Chain A
């Protein structure tokens, strides 16, 4: 069964203090691993897609990496506006052209000024 586990559940950092969020996954044939950001009371916002081990993607202070079992979201010198819940999801085989995502529970990140 496809499964995604994110750790830690919650993380508090000081502004400028770099860290990494973990996403461990098991899936029968990875078609894509997705990172989303979700602010309180809003819908998830797409960040990155990773397709195979060794791939890396970057956007501003965020960098996503992936191995055969885990993905990491590295946050470098974070700012308070980076505070959000970060969701990881893997794609199960598509059904009729649609996407079935298996989500982790998310990591709630708080950056203190």
Chain B
């Protein structure tokens, strides 16, 4: 089945120690998104890629970076995690939205714990 895969599912890192989360997709979608979701809150968009074009949300901290080396893969780098960065990180993909509105497909998420 075509899908969105995230690795690892659970990640524990130390305060200030860089961490990278991974997302891959077999849907061949143009657009990939990264969301942060804290307990009992709605997902919050961090940034997205349209093909190789990167778009950062205005309120996303500089501590969060992303890379998309090819269509299938996208990475979220947290350069110096703080305790407040503990959350579920969701990767999603969608088709090009310019001609019609299409749903996003979400991965299972990576639960990040910062100690």
Contacts A103-B42, A103-B43, A106-B42; is A98 near B105 (CB within 8 Å)?
no
Closest partner residue, chain B, to A9 (CB atom): B40
Cβ–Cβ < 8 Å partners of B30 in chain A:
97
A42 to B30 alpha-carbon distance, docked (Å): 23
Of the stretches B63-71, B74-82, B91-99, the one at the interface is B91-99
Cβ–Cβ < 8 Å partners of B102 in chain A:
99
B55 located at the interface, meaning its Cβ lies under 8 Å from any Cβ of chain A in the complex: yes
Q: For chain B, residues 81 to 107, give those with C-beta under 8 angstroms from any C-beta of chain A.
A: 88, 90, 92, 94, 96-98, 101-107
Contacts A43-B90, A87-B42, A103-B42; is A96 near B104 (CB within 8 Å)?
no
Cβ contact within 8 Å between B41 and A97: no
Contacts A41-B111, A91-B101, A106-B42; is A98 near B48 (CB within 8 Å)?
yes
Residue of B55, B88, B98, B103 touching A46 (CB-CB under 8 A) = B103
Closest partner residue, chain A, to B51 (CB atom): A97
Cβ contact within 8 Å between A43 and B42: no
Q: What DSSP secondary structure best describes chain A's contact surface?
A: strand
Q: For chain A, residues 25 to 63, give those with C-beta under 8 angstroms from any C-beta of chain B.
A: 31-32, 34, 36, 41-46, 49, 51
Contacts A98-B94, A98-B97; is A42 near B105 (CB within 8 Å)?
no
What class of interface size applies to chain A in its complex with B? 20 to 34
A41 to B106 alpha-carbon distance, docked (Å): 13
A residues in contact (CB < 8 Å) with B? 31-32, 34, 36, 41-46, 49, 51, 87, 91, 94-101, 103-106, 108
A-B residue pairs in contact (CB < 8 Å), sample of 27: A32-B101, A34-B103, A34-B104, A41-B109, A43-B92, A43-B107, A43-B109, A44-B90, A44-B106, A45-B106, A51-B101, A91-B101, A94-B98, A95-B55, A96-B50, A97-B96, A97-B97, A99-B97, A99-B101, A99-B102, A99-B104, A101-B45, A103-B42, A103-B43, A105-B41, A106-B40, A106-B42
B residues in contact (CB < 8 Å) with A? 4, 6, 30-31, 33, 40-43, 45, 48, 50, 53, 55, 88, 90, 92, 94, 96-98, 101-109, 111
